[in-house]
Structure 1
Amino acid sequence: MNLLSRMPSWVGHHVAAIRVVVVLTVVLGLLYPLGMTALAQVPGLREHAHGSRLTAGGSALIGQSFLDKKGAPIPYYFQPRPSDAGTGYDASASAAGNLGPESTVDVLPVLGHPDSGKQSLLTQVCARSKAVGELEHVDGSRPYCTADGVGAVLGVFRDGGTTGKATRVVSLDQACPEKPFRSTYGGITVECATPGADYSKAVVTPVRGDAPAHPKVPADAVTASASGLDPQISPAYAALQTPRVARERGMTEAAVRKLVDRCTSGRGLGVLGAPAVNVVELNAALDHLRPVSAEGA
């Protein structure tokens, strides 16, 4: 008769449990991590296992902001898409904006309290498109955006609630004393919006305007990725920035396009996703080929 058979049943259960813990600790806590670490050193996997580090700093897998100390785009760098991760591309705060197509009305800041306001997704897109257009010297206008870069959204008060004749019209995203983007609507003079006022009974009415159906500024230039960390932009956005970067670095556009092509990945398995340009790799390649001083090209 062995020792375990002479022990009380509850002791035998504890011994068996301890054995399971020891075995699982060795297998999952030691052998498995060591095996995965060894597998990660296989050629083709080693780069990803080490985070695709760049000699210039950072990782090719995580985007970076290429801004100066004042938060303005550095003109001799390709700019990434916007980021909602922390203050921008913060790997410890990966996040999306969580705003959808119904987000069109701003919470206007109260005078003296600029942090009390909150921009809608529409105004964020409009402001970014206007800024990119000015940086790249192209038309940054978009449908449903005002010329000053906010949502072209009217609050229409009607005598029947949601239907009937318009009795009052407010430009919801343009705080007073801003001049409304339209002077009249339905025969009613359009008012600027008063921060803190209650416009909840107004019918929210976006106005398309006369912007082109296909804006010069691509969609990825004005919207953030789901993670807020993606380092890629579309080839269209890279093409829009190429003349500026070439000019600022004293390079030909053909030479810059060659680097863009080198940093462009195709569709996954040939059919998934869309071609994309890795901005971090591209800017690192530009610095290696044609360095510029901190003061400019």
Structure 2
Amino acid sequence: MSTLPSWLRQHVAALRALLVFTVLCGAAYPLAIAAVAQLPGLKDKADGSYVEVDGRRVGSELIGQPFLDSGGNPLKQYFQVRESNAGDGWDPMATSASNRGMEDVVDTLPDPALVKAGEEDENARESLLTTVCARSLKFGGLDGVEGSRPYCTESGVGAVLSVIGPRDATGVVSRPTKVVSINEACPANPFVAEYKGVEVECNTYGQDYSEGQIVPIRGDAPESPAVPADAVTASGSGLDPHISTEWAELQAPRVASARGVPAERIEKLIKEHTTGRSLGFMGEPAVNVLTLNIALDETAPFKG
């Protein structure tokens, strides 16, 4: 009885293993998972949790979407969702976070010549602090509350100084010789006139202030800002469709006024579209903005 050469037997064994694992991992396992996903309680999420209005899909309960006009401004008759870093914003194919942390407080200012010409400076970059400050003013103004926050200027940028001078043994500038409001481009008036007896200057484009010690200035903003934290930060995925009950309640008077209905009616809808903590103890109650806005259109149509 003839036998196959050892090298050929090895190739045949490898081919058999390939076929077996292709069937198991490439067909049986995916089909089994797909079948489990269709069980009651899982089917809706597995299929995308689509939301339909008059037989037309308008979104997903799991993916946030903006409610803006053609100019990118918030529509006053709708509740607003968190800002997004996913692609160009709320792109489910490009889920992402900004990856900016608490120490990201210094802006890279744009070339004023490009700004004057109406062009975008690709090298310019806004710090996380300035992003938070700007969003706080934006949503504070939208809902008629104070938008100030600690470490933010009145103009909505990070209140940060570059303090230049000799340093002591701990690395702290002991005798400032030059102080620059690093996030305020000239000819702006700095948010503070002086620091430790030295006049504060605006940021002159092209100057190098990297030798300076970065010093954030808290200012006199309240410890608990009127604009909630989720209004000024994006979610980790960039696609979170939920907002805090605190932010929803802040927006309620504006939405009620725009739609010409009592505020109590809007507050009732907020409660109906509030989800509890995951498993009863994780996270905080949240409001699904898409389903809430759909309910608004159904029960209190905008007539503006």
- The interval holding the TM-score normalised by the smaller chain is over 0.9
SS of equivalent residue, structure 2 residue 179: strand
The match for 2:161 among 142, 154, 157 is 154
In 2: Cα distance, 1:253 partner to 1:235 partner: 15
Aligned to 1:225: 235
Greater shift, 37-46 or 68-77, is seen at 37-46
In 2: Cα distance, 1:142 partner to 1:20 partner: 62
Quote how far apart the aligned CAs of 1:196 are.
Answer: 2.0
Quote how far apart the aligned CAs of 1:12 are.
Answer: 2.5
The answer as to whether partners of 2:163 and 2:173 remain within 8 angstroms in 1 is no
The match for 1:234 among 244, 255, 272 is 244
2:98 equivalent to 1:97: yes
Q: Number of paired residues?
A: 291
Alignment root-mean-square deviation, CA: 1.7
In 2: Cα distance, 1:272 partner to 1:109 partner: 42
Greater shift, 263-272 or 146-155, is seen at 263-272
Letter in 2 for 1:63: G
Letter in 1 for 2:180: V
In 1: Cα distance, 2:8 partner to 2:298 partner: 67
Query: TM-score, structure 1 length as denominator?
Result: 0.92
In 2: Cα distance, 1:211 partner to 1:29 partner: 58
The match for 1:135 among 112, 132, 142 is 142
- Segments of structure 2 that go 5 or more residues without pairing to the other structure are 115-119
2:137 equivalent to 1:123: no
Aligned to 1:277: 287
Aligned to 1:178: 188
The answer as to whether partners of 1:81 and 1:223 remain within 8 angstroms in 2 is yes
Quote how far apart the aligned CAs of 1:247 are.
Answer: 1.3
Greater shift, 167-176 or 5-14, is seen at 5-14
Quote how far apart the aligned CAs of 1:45 are.
Answer: 0.9
SS of equivalent residue, structure 1 residue 54: strand
The match for 1:201 among 179, 200, 211 is 211
Q: Percent identity at matched positions?
A: 52
The match for 2:278 among 268, 271, 288 is 268
Quote how far apart the aligned CAs of 1:73 are.
Answer: 0.5
SS of equivalent residue, structure 2 residue 7: helix
CA deviation map 1:6-33 (0-9, x unaligned) = 2223333333222222222223222222
The answer as to whether partners of 2:269 and 2:292 remain within 8 angstroms in 1 is yes
Letter in 2 for 1:223: T
CA deviation map 1:34-59 (0-9, x unaligned) = 22222222211110011100104111
2:10 equivalent to 1:13: yes
The answer as to whether partners of 1:108 and 1:196 remain within 8 angstroms in 2 is no
Greater shift, 164-173 or 46-55, is seen at 164-173
- Segments of structure 1 that go 5 or more residues without pairing to the other structure are none
Letter in 2 for 1:142: R
In 1: Cα distance, 2:7 partner to 2:221 partner: 78
Could you list the runs of 4 or more consecutive aligned residues of structure 1 that deviate by over 6 angstroms after TM superposition? none
CA deviation map 1:263-297 (0-9, x unaligned) = 211111221112111112211222232333xxx63
The match for 2:30 among 29, 33, 38 is 33
Letter in 2 for 1:180: P
Greater shift, 224-233 or 23-32, is seen at 23-32
